[in-house]
Structure 1
Amino acid sequence: MKKSRGRTGRKRRRKHLQSVMGGVNCSHKLEYIRLKKWLKDRGFEDSNLRPAEFLETGRGLMTTKALQAGDLIISLPDKCLLTTGTVLSSCLGKYIMEWKPPVSPLVALCTFLIAEKYAGEESQWKPYLDVLPKTYTCPVCLEHNVVCLLPEPLRKKAQEQRTMVHELYMSSKAFFSSLQPLFAENTGTIFNYSAVEWAWCAINTRTIYMKHSQRECFSLEPDVYALAPYLDLLNHCPNVQVR
């Protein structure tokens, strides 16, 4: 069958190209419907942004109207943010405050993500967890044979990340064990290396910088993490020029 070469054909091709370049709206997907409802229940007012899939950058947010310089793009209430304050308010808080030496803010957040993921349907954060990537492509996640093929700078970065995650996991195993009263299943199974790696990647690829006051129950590592549901879908084009 020959392709249409007339005006109608050109319009169809132009419309298809605009759809691909501009992003395919994903608002109809159940996980995003649930996420938006969950955010609304926490005080989030709907914006002009819609979840979408883009050809070059994958998942992101697209605007439904032209934006002008100075426009507010998105604003999330504190209730929607996942911070160390969220963790301390959960059932994990008591264990974190009693544990010596203190865990780091990063370990606290990793622990919370793993615990909430394990809770499944019972987790209050399930609508957010459902839109988090199941796997990541961070250097730490790459197989050894793949890492060996990388240029030296990337190979070094992969090794650095692998060392960081391994040390975090090994140094936290005793703390994870202290959480056993909270779980029917063995904590060694729940808080395994793969789970820690997933949580570490989730935080380090999606967190926004938000400085919090130092708490005695945490180590001296800066507490600057905040996971921001929906906002963290914002992506960027690699060809963007900043002036």
Structure 2
Amino acid sequence: MRGRHCRSGRTGRKRRQKQQSHVDSVSLCHQPQYVRLMRFLHKQGFVSTLLQPALFSDTGRGLQTLKTIKPGQLLISLPESCLLTTATVLSSNLGHYIKSWRPRLSPLLALCVFLVCERHRGEASDWFPYISVLPTSYTCPAYFTDDVMAVLPASVRRRALDQREAVQEIHSSNLDFFRSLQLILSLPVEDVLTYEALRWAWCSVNTRSVFMSHPSNDFLSGQDVYALAPFLDLLNHRPDVQKSFCLQVKASFNNTTRCYDIRSVSGTPHFQQAFINYGSHDNQRLMLEYGFVAQGNPHSVVYVDTDLLCDALKRDRSLDQKIKFLRENDFLNNLTVSSEGPSWRLMTALRLLSLPQTLYHQWKAVLLGQAVSEEREEWSLQTARTLCQCLLQDTCKALDKIFFLLQHCDQLTREQLEVVQALRQEEKCILGSCLEALDGMWGQRDGLLSCQPDVGSVS
């Protein structure tokens, strides 16, 4: 019996591993744009024998292993001459205009303008092989329509609107500089350096550049840490890469060889996708900065913003005073819930909000994580549950609205909605699990109240 159990266990594990690791993929190496890209990079001294561009059924474009990879193995060594940096821009025909312009441009704007002008040149551009494989549009908030913005969570909508407005401001505030470039453009500058073109370039740099510190110079203003890395930027992010059947890699610039290196962290068989980890980012940040949502992201949470807190506790006559106190002590930021329940910061904020004036003197104890009394703890847990229910109701309404919009939209809007839909569906799961966790906490306590306390009595 024990032997049969062991065999069954091994078979089950192998079956599960096969299901988890099986992803359809198609090589992109023979497509004309990738042939041009590899020829362009080979001329600069780059050769890749371990990874190839491929299209994966779960993530889209990425890089696939051609051979069995060992931990610590060097996979990519991209020469500095292959990197598109501000040094590239300043040495181009744009360099004279940028160097003489006042006020000085930011490194980000310099790269954006270069991308737009080089795309305008088409095949005459040395960088055409790279630009031709860049996405033609993005699912970052800068691209979102008003309808898509409206179905975002409130906590992320403001930041999404800020992003869109920031790109609009960059375009509108640099029109004079754009006009100065008319001599090197074959069409009117208004037809080349449009808001749409700058938005595309901004998203290209913001979502695809790697970190590379550059020395300051007299021609640009601000920190210069951007580098666009052809081929290397095909690597996809995976938050749980250490726990999955795939190749984990790390990136860094080698100052000795002057190459941007990608080295394996884990080993993997051939024909697997290589992934890089951008960091411990939740899905809201991934969507804002990169335009995608990662499935099964262990870092994802749902945010509770100040407006929701105030709305839930509006009957508390001393609410303004308490909110001011929380703000002054930096306890209104990063209030979250996860699948395990409310965060420590959220529960601490709720405990502070639960204090009547007669117990204000206990605020230091609360900040140290102490519960004031059973009654106040009950109030805090019930309020956390109310907040989760409000967030869940908003999420369900948004998902219904997204379903309707998906029936009446073009392809670009569909792609944007699908990203937001994935974010909202994840939030729905997190909030459902959080409510279950709160029920467990509630059930463990003795003498709990059968209904929500009157918030007005807190003051």
TM-score (norm 1): 0.88
Of the three residues 104, 108, 112, the one matched with 1:106 is 108
Q: CA deviation at 1:171?
A: 1.8
Partner of 2:71: 69
Residue 117 in 1 paired to residue 136 in 2?
no
AA partner of residue 90 (structure 1): S
Q: Rg larger in 1 or in 2? A: 2
Partner of 2:293: none
Partner of 1:165: 167
Residue 215 in 1 paired to residue 221 in 2?
no
Do the aligned residues in 1 keep the contact of 2:49 with 2:66 (CA within 8 Å)? no
- Superposed CA deviations along residues 161-200 of structure 1, whole A, max 9, x for unmatched, are 1121011111211111111111231112110100000000
- Relative CO higher for 1 or 2, CA cutoff 8 Å, sep ≥ 6? 1
- Superposed CA deviations along residues 99-124 of structure 1, whole A, max 9, x for unmatched, are 00100101100000000000011111
Label 1:42 to 1:100 Cα distance change in 2 as closer, same or farther (>3 A). same
Of the three residues 24, 27, 33, the one matched with 1:25 is 27
Alpha-carbon distance in 2 for matches of 1:54, 1:122 = 32
Partner of 1:206: 208
Of the three residues 82, 85, 98, the one matched with 1:83 is 85
Alpha-carbon distance in 1 for matches of 2:79, 2:67 = 23
Do the aligned residues in 2 keep the contact of 1:132 with 1:202 (CA within 8 Å)? yes
SS of the residue 2:67 aligns to: coil
Label 1:62 to 1:34 Cα distance change in 2 as closer, same or farther (>3 A). same
Partner of 1:224: 225
Alpha-carbon distance in 1 for matches of 2:101, 2:238 = 43
Partner of 1:240: 241
RMSD of Structure 2 on Structure 1 (CA)? 1.9
After TM superposition, the structure 1 = structure 2 runs for residues 178-217 of structure 1, keeping only pairs within 5 Å, are 178-217=180-219
Of the three residues 27, 40, 53, the one matched with 1:38 is 40
Alpha-carbon distance in 2 for matches of 1:44, 1:120 = 23
Do the aligned residues in 2 keep the contact of 1:57 with 1:236 (CA within 8 Å)? no
Deviates more, 1:165-174 or 1:104-113: 165-174
After TM superposition, the structure 1 = structure 2 runs for residues 122-161 of structure 1, keeping only pairs within 5 Å, are 122-161=124-163
Q: CA deviation at 1:236?
A: 3.1
Alpha-carbon distance in 1 for matches of 2:239, 2:174 = 37
SS of the residue 1:82 aligns to: coil
Alpha-carbon distance in 2 for matches of 1:20, 1:42 = 35
Do the aligned residues in 2 keep the contact of 1:107 with 1:172 (CA within 8 Å)? no
Partner of 1:53: 55
Alpha-carbon distance in 1 for matches of 2:54, 2:123 = 25
Q: Which has the higher strand share?
A: 2
Label 1:18 to 1:30 Cα distance change in 2 as closer, same or farther (>3 A). farther
Alpha-carbon distance in 1 for matches of 2:62, 2:186 = 37
Label 1:130 to 1:20 Cα distance change in 2 as closer, same or farther (>3 A). farther
Alpha-carbon distance in 2 for matches of 1:54, 1:184 = 39
AA partner of residue 106 (structure 2): S
Alpha-carbon distance in 1 for matches of 2:189, 2:75 = 41
Do the aligned residues in 2 keep the contact of 1:57 with 1:237 (CA within 8 Å)? no
User: Where do 5+ consecutive residues of structure 1 fail to align?
Assistant: 1-16
Give identity over the alignment, percent.
48
Alpha-carbon distance in 2 for matches of 1:66, 1:18 = 19
SS of the residue 2:98 aligns to: helix
Alpha-carbon distance in 1 for matches of 2:20, 2:158 = 40
Do the aligned residues in 2 keep the contact of 1:105 with 1:218 (CA within 8 Å)? yes
AA partner of residue 150 (structure 1): L
- Superposed CA deviations along residues 42-84 of structure 1, whole A, max 9, x for unmatched, are 1102231011111221110011122222111211011100000
SS of the residue 2:74 aligns to: coil
Moved over 4 A (4+): 17-20
AA partner of residue 235 (structure 1): N
Partner of 1:12: none
SS of the residue 2:190 aligns to: helix
AA partner of residue 174 (structure 2): S
Q: CA deviation at 1:239?
A: 4.2
Q: CA deviation at 1:138?
A: 0.5
User: Where do 5+ consecutive residues of structure 2 fail to align?
Assistant: 1-18, 244-264, 266-459
AA partner of residue 25 (structure 2): G
SS of the residue 2:173 aligns to: helix
